[in-house]
Amino acid sequence: MRNRITILEKSLKCLTPLLLGGLLGCEAGGAASTSTAVRGATSSESVVVLGAKLIDGTGGAPIEDSVLVLRGDRIVAVGAATATAIPTGARVVRYSGKTIFPGLLSNHSHVGIVDGLVAGSAQYNRANILRQVQQYEAYGVTTVTALGFNGAIFDGLRAELHSGKTSGADLFGVDRGIGVPGGAPSEAVVPVGADQILRPATAEQAREAVRAMVSRRTDLVKLWIDDFGGTLPKMPPEVSQAAIDEAHRHGLRVAAHIHDLGDAKAAVRAGVDILAHGVRDQVVDGELTNLLKEHATWYVPTLQLDESAFVYADRPAWTTEPFVQRALHPDVRAQFEDPAWRERILAAPATQAARAALAMNLRNLKILHDAGVAIGFGTDSGATPLRIPGVAEHRELVLMVEAGLTPLQAIGIATRDAAAVLRLGDRGTLAPGKLADFVVVDRDPLQAIANTQSIAAVWHRGQCAGCNATYLAR
Ligand SMILES: [Zn+2]
């Protein structure tokens, strides 16, 4: 049977450089046939992915020498090479020595808010959003949740990305989101247009806001209830309660922006389904743990949010590596290289606060994870120029391991659990019937979690996504 198999090893050598912009050393002439190399399975043809160590996302032990059989956009079989039948006539892709894990899913990101260093409603446009979802996909984040601030074009773009006809990460999200009149989310921080946020003042207006979001087919409802350290008015409890009740009446779940322990407890008690940030003002206690478990509330720490506030000014070695640099808009890259900018950031009181918030967030994640609280995966990437789509998600994995989770646990949260947050049964693990969304890396992330960054290829819906693209070479 072996001689009937088409071997594509030679052309595959060039998938990495094609994906990440030629930085990783594609041999001249090595791309035997790009069009062949990037093809996935057609609806009638099988593709067999052979030889990789496979992490299936369930948290179980990896398969050292795996077989993954794809047909169309789906996985039809997965198992050990010794125990899995290879369909006759299938095209074979060899990834010996590499590791495969499911495509990452973000439960908290944003699209169309920033372009380079510029933020505002003008950035909420098709070209900018597509560039961002394509960057997420190229970095192995194959599903993204844009958690609020979405404008009128969101619904159509989401439908295109769901269909798979437009390339990029699959997109889900909150339509506008519900903030506070004169309060969060502050336009000084996220200067979006008036049509990208709803600010009800009364319970009835909150119900109307939810109904308007329902009419635009929102996937979730988002509330900003926080007072940002006492600098802004809080959302009145009767407003948040009305929004939560109305959302639940329509079968929608509610995510809430929180920062402090008190707000987290109040949100869970009021029926919020997803805490969209970690608790960062103090150590969590047994009361919050019990509330989260009793209500089966998801906790999405967004560790990278605070790290992003200072780490590019600190400039550790990883920030200068191609994995990060290729993801940066030239203006953002220039800012990171500007000593005056770095000095200003390092001296700012907000930077010290962000360092403390990250340390507390790490500590609280470990406590809640150990206690059995359901953890989701998100970073708030895309909300500011410092939260780099794709890079942020790989840093979140590193930070989860810094918090004390194992690499296998961190990957399980970013795949299986993140899919469960979105109630998407068709992805998140590598199993028969699931979408063929997976990341191929050169080095084993179970040995060192930062190895998720050694991306050799990203497969999305059974196709090697973005292998011909140049969108990272901006
Ligand atoms: Zn956010």
Ligand 1 center to 91 CA (angstroms):
42
**Helix (H/G/I), strand (E/B), else coil: 251:** coil
Ligand 1 center to 284 CA (angstroms):
21
DSSP-derived pairing of the beta strands 438-441 and 455-460: antiparallel
Separation of CA 413 from chain center: 11
Integer Cα distance of 175 and 150 in angstroms: 5
How confident is the model over 159-184, as pLDDT tens digits?
A: 999 999 999 999 999 999 999 999 88
Alpha carbon distances (Å) from 467 to 60, 132, 214, 474? 30, 16, 37, 16
Ligand 1 center to 109 CA (angstroms):
6
pLDDT at 26: 27
From 39-53, 133-147, 269-283, the region with the lowest mean pLDDT:
39-53
Run of H or E including 87: none
Are 254 and 209 contacting, i.e. CB atoms less than 8 angstroms apart? Answer: no
Ligand 1 center to 380 CA (angstroms):
5
How confident is the model over 341-367, as pLDDT tens digits?
A: 999 999 999 999 999 999 999 999 999
Q: What percent of the chain has pLDDT over 70?
A: 89
Ligand 1 center to 453 CA (angstroms):
23
Ligand 1 center to 286 CA (angstroms):
27
Separation of CA 201 from chain center: 32
The token pair at 85 is 């039948």
Are 109 and 103 contacting, i.e. CB atoms less than 8 angstroms apart? Answer: no
How confident is the model over 364-399, as pLDDT tens digits?
A: 999 999 999 999 999 999 999 999 999 999 999 999
Integer Cα distance of 209 and 74 in angstroms: 38
Ligand 1 center to 145 CA (angstroms):
10
pLDDT band at 85 (very low <50, low <70, confident <90, very high): confident
Find, among 165, 135, 171, the residue nearest to 466 by Cα.
Answer: 135
Ligand 1 center to 96 CA (angstroms):
39
Ligand 1 center to 110 CA (angstroms):
6
90, pLDDT greater than 60: yes
What phi, psi does 463 have (nearest 5°)?
Answer: -120, 145
- Find all residues with CB under 8 Å of 338, minimum gap 6, and list them: none
- Side-chain half-sphere CA neighbours of 150 within 13 A: 28
* Bridge partners, residue 291, by sequence: none
DSSP-derived pairing of the beta strands 170-174 and 221-224: unpaired
Integer Cα distance of 445 and 57 in angstroms: 13
32, pLDDT greater than 70: no
pLDDT band at 443 (very low <50, low <70, confident <90, very high): very high
How confident is the model over 54-67, as pLDDT tens digits?
A: 999 999 999 999 99
- Find all residues with CB under 8 Å of 73, minimum gap 6, and list them: 40, 41, 164, 435, 436, 461, 462, 463
Integer Cα distance of 185 and 324 in angstroms: 28
Question: Which 8-state DSSP code applies to residue 51?
Answer: S
Ligand 1 center to 62 CA (angstroms):
33
User: For the packed helices 391-403 and 349-370, what is the interaxial angle rounded to 10 degrees?
Assistant: 60
Ligand 1 center to 376 CA (angstroms):
14
Ligand 1 center to 274 CA (angstroms):
12
pLDDT band at 34 (very low <50, low <70, confident <90, very high): very low
Question: Which 8-state DSSP code applies to residue 288?
Answer: H
CA-based radius of gyration for the chain = 22
pLDDT at 466: 53
Ligand 1 center to 297 CA (angstroms):
18
195, pLDDT greater than 90: no
Are 382 and 110 contacting, i.e. CB atoms less than 8 angstroms apart? Answer: yes
Ligand 1 center to 324 CA (angstroms):
21
- Side-chain half-sphere CA neighbours of 323 within 13 A: 19
- Residue 365, phi-psi category: left (phi > 0), alpha (psi -120 to 50), beta (remainder): alpha
Question: Which 8-state DSSP code applies to residue 55?
Answer: -
Ligand 1 center to 154 CA (angstroms):
16
Ligand 1 center to 242 CA (angstroms):
21
- Find all residues with CB under 8 Å of 262, minimum gap 6, and list them: none
Ligand 1 center to 383 CA (angstroms):
6
The token pair at 52 is 């990789």
What phi, psi does 143 have (nearest 5°)?
Answer: -140, 130
Ligand 1 center to 178 CA (angstroms):
12
Ligand 1 center to 143 CA (angstroms):
16
Ligand 1 center to 48 CA (angstroms):
39
Ligand 1 center to 190 CA (angstroms):
10
Place of tokens 């930070």: 399
Ligand 1 center to 466 CA (angstroms):
26
Place of tokens 């179970």: 446
**Helix (H/G/I), strand (E/B), else coil: 282:** coil
Find, among 399, 308, 316, the residue nearest to 350 by Cα.
Answer: 308
Ligand 1 center to 144 CA (angstroms):
12
Ligand 1 center to 147 CA (angstroms):
6
Ligand 1 center to 248 CA (angstroms):
21
Q: What percent of the chain has pLDDT over 90?
A: 82
Ligand 1 center to 325 CA (angstroms):
23
Ligand 1 center to 149 CA (angstroms):
9
pLDDT at 45: 82
Ligand 1 center to 277 CA (angstroms):
8
How confident is the model over 271-317, as pLDDT tens digits?
A: 999 999 999 999 999 999 999 999 999 999 999 999 999 999 999 99
